[in-house]
Amino acid sequence: MEAKIAVIRGDGIGPEIVDAAIGCLDAVARRFGHTFHYSFPIMGGAAIDSTGVPLPQETIDECKRSDAVLLGAVGGPKWDNLAGHLRPEKGLLGLRSALGLYANVRPALLYEQLKGDSPLKPAIAKKGINLVVVRELTGGIYFGPRGFRSGKNGQEAFDTEVYTIPEIERIAKIAFDVAMGRRKKVTSVDKANVLETSRLWRATVTRVAESYPEVKLEHMLVDNCAMQLIKDPSQFDVLLCPNMFGDILSDEAAMLTGSIGLLPSSSLGAGKLGLYEPIHGSAPDIAGTDTANPIATILAAAMMLSSSLGLVTETAALEKAINTILSKGYRTPDICSMGTKKVSCSKMGELIALEVLNAK
């Protein structure tokens, strides 16, 4: 097939990890006979430096013309003191909104080879972690009415959580669809003992579940869920979360797997176009040293192949290549331990790309 991929390299380690991922995509294209056309629109700090704004209109247009968007990461200390609307991260929020991406899908997988890196007790890690957080991305408290005002004790600030039934329905459907391709269990997370929005969330998710009789639905309060993730993460398959709870729990789930450099995420909307990126930031502390772990970005590219381009076998081939390279003992510094072979970011990308080409 031919596909058009918009690649936003971003800031900090962004260009290094994205280049490693492109090497792997090129290997997939060669092995399976596809042609990927890349364009390189800019966003974040790089865009601020050259255009004065974090998300130029041309970037939005280019992404809309593409089949998928692959992103490194944006931001860094150079742009930290700019006004809120000019910050690099504003570019990412703006792009998700311009592309109508309302669902964030974040798998958290503990690799067999890396069980020792998990902060969990070995007896718990031994049971494995293989879950997906499906987080609502464009509603809830991050987008409701907010502000400062003066009250009887001086200045006050407020943020408001708002959810509509259609917003809850569409994210719930994504969670149930994801579960249908996995172990068929959805845990819906809320705070229904306190929040009205959570009560609407729970009632709506329960109704959506009626269309998915094969999927087991359970509801869990967010505080309990935070505990259960530490106690026994193997119980979870798909975690369906409102925006803020998903933001927090997906980072918790990520850390249980050992390294932030291993986890991808996708942002999806109603159509095939999706935005694929690692869950981590631009890691300015190691930028330019060729030591970043590119695996999260390569896994994001793997998600892109199946979710936006329909290339399921190719996704499996890329994921298998990563597994094989980890099994051969190759590690970037963030996951390196005694008895393993330390390699750079670019070398890790080359090894995985070669494995894609050489694997039968």
Catalytic-role residue among 19, 26, 251, 290: 251
- By beta-carbon proximity to ligand NAD, the closer residue of 237 and 277 is 277
Interacting stretch for ligand NAD, rule CB under 6 A, among 20-28, 96-104, 121-129, 292-300?
292-300
Cross-strand partners of 103: 136, 268
Binding status of residue 292 toward ligand NAD by CB under 6 A: yes
Residue closer to ligand NAD by CB (options 128, 284) is 284
Is 284 near ligand NAD (CB under 6 A)?
yes
Whether 191 is catalytic is yes
The Cα 109–Cα 303 span in angstroms is 13
Please, is 305 exposed, middle or buried when counting C-beta atoms within 10 Å of its C-beta (0-12, 13-18, 19+)? buried
User: Residue 36 forms beta bridges with which residues?
Assistant: 3
Whether 320 is a known active-site residue: answer no
Q: Quick one: which of 60, 120, 286, 318 contacts ligand NAD (CB under 6 A)?
A: 286
Which residues ranging from 79 to 118 are in contact with ligand NAD (CB under 6 A)? 89, 92
Q: Which long-range contacts (CB under 8 A, 24 or more apart) does 326-334 make?
A: 326/111, 326/113, 326/114, 327/113, 332/261, 332/291, 332/292, 332/293, 332/294, 332/295, 333/291, 334/259, 334/260, 334/261, 334/291, 334/292, 334/293
Q: Could you say whether residue 41 binds ligand NAD (CB under 6 A)?
A: no
Instruction: Find out whether 137 and 156 touch, Cβ atoms under 8 Å.
Output: no
Annotated catalytic residue 142: yes
Which residue, 135 or 202, has its beta carbon nearer to ligand NAD? Answer: 135
Write the binding mask 236 to 265 for ligand NAD: x where contact by CB under 6 A, - elsewhere. ------------------------xx----
Cα separation, 252 vs 249, in Å, equals: 5
174 versus 286: smaller Cβ distance to ligand NAD: 286
- Residues with catalytic annotation? 142, 191, 223, 247, 251
